[in-house]
Amino acid sequence: MEVSTQEFRDVQTLVRSLCGLVLTDDKTYLVKTRLEPVVTAHGCTSFGDYLGRLQQLGAGAMRDELVEALTTGETSFNRDAHVFDEFRRRILPRVAESLRRRREQGTRVPIARIWSAGCSTGQEPYSLAMIIHEYLSANVALGLKVEQLPILATDVSAKSLTTAKEGRYLERDLDRGVTPEQRRRYFQQQGAHWTINPQLKKMIEFRQMNFLNPMPDIGPFELIFCRNVMIYFDTPTRQKLCEQFHKLLVPGGLLILGAAESLYGLTTSLVSESFGSTTVYRKPDRHA
């Protein structure tokens, strides 16, 4: 089933209006391979027929399905290991120290919230949860509990979030990034699948969110991980999203992007800072 130039343009326009995703002109193959099964499943004989039905009233579910097909991205546990190494070695201890100081200053149960924005099928937030649990278990003297470092994980794809909430993965998923100790400690085998332990699931709230919609009052956050997401947006959308992140971060909070991403070309007061080979963006302290 071929995709004409005009049909591709129509898909570009529609998906951009629905979720902000910018399909560059070299992505015709992606549209064809990902949407052809969807087109066929709806009994359409061409992309033109399918696009015509998408424009009809009451086609909301079909439009959601379009977004699902084109936004499901590549992910894995502990992806880009240097980010998680720095989270374990420097960033998390800094957050833990902040919690300790706030407790000494009189905050009864201080909280440092973390947001995994664009969590896909859940590997990123579960990777963060494993490291947090490992760190607090090894540093009992801090007197901190996992409940004080809750994780919000959001994605535009309802299908991906269903997988994330279930926390059930195949052997090949674990082979891509999970350490033998993490497998032993945090997963239980159930037939062909490995299921995340309930103690980690309790650390994470999964919620569907489209970055193009008005952002709910979900902050503040100590850390925001938005990796390999902004690269797919145009500059105005990236600018708007950056402004939202700045608003939702606490003073001194960090925004962590993907390795191929930066805030270059955007107007922001976030300051770049290096942790080894990992670049983060810090919201200046009130007195900075």
- Examine the domain organization and report whether 224 and 266 are in the same domain: yes
By residue range, what is the domain housing residue 34?
A: 5-71
Residue 190 lies in a domain: no
Stretches in the chain below the pLDDT threshold 70: 72, 287-288
- Examine the domain organization and report whether 161 and 46 are in the same domain: no
Residue 185 lies in a domain: no
**What is the reported pLDDT for 180?**
95
Can you tell me the distance from the alpha carbon of 104 to that of 162, in angstroms, rounded to the nearest whole number? 40
- Examine the domain organization and report whether 216 and 243 are in the same domain: yes
Can you tell me the distance from the alpha carbon of 32 to that of 34, in angstroms, rounded to the nearest whole number? 6
- Examine the domain organization and report whether 53 and 129 are in the same domain: no
- Examine the domain organization and report whether 119 and 16 are in the same domain: no
For residue 49, give the CATH number of its domain: 1.10.155.10
**What is the reported pLDDT for 220?**
96
- Examine the domain organization and report whether 209 and 160 are in the same domain: yes
Taking the model in full, what pTM does it have?
A: 0.92
Residue 179 lies in a domain: no
- Examine the domain organization and report whether 53 and 85 are in the same domain: no
pLDDT tens column, 123-161: 999 999 999 999 999 999 999 999 999 999 999 999 999
Residue 15 lies in a domain: yes
**What is the reported pLDDT for 54?**
93
Can you tell me the distance from the alpha carbon of 224 to that of 139, in angstroms, rounded to the nearest whole number? 24
**What is the reported pLDDT for 259?**
87
Closest to 224 in 3D by CA, of 144, 168, 145, 282: 282
Residue 150 lies in a domain: yes
For residue 132, give the CATH number of its domain: 3.40.50.150
- Examine the domain organization and report whether 59 and 137 are in the same domain: no
The residue written with tokens 């900075």 in the block is 288
Residue 94 lies in a domain: yes
Residue 184 lies in a domain: no
- Examine the domain organization and report whether 115 and 160 are in the same domain: yes
Length, in residues, of the chain: 288
**What is the reported pLDDT for 260?**
87
Number of domains forming the structure of the chain: 2
- Examine the domain organization and report whether 97 and 223 are in the same domain: yes
Residue 76 lies in a domain: no
Closest to 219 in 3D by CA, of 128, 134, 115, 119: 115
- In 3-state terms, what secondary structure has residue 137? helix
Domain end residue (candidates: 53, 71, 89): 71
- Examine the domain organization and report whether 25 and 154 are in the same domain: no
- Examine the domain organization and report whether 122 and 206 are in the same domain: yes
CA 87 to chain centre: 16
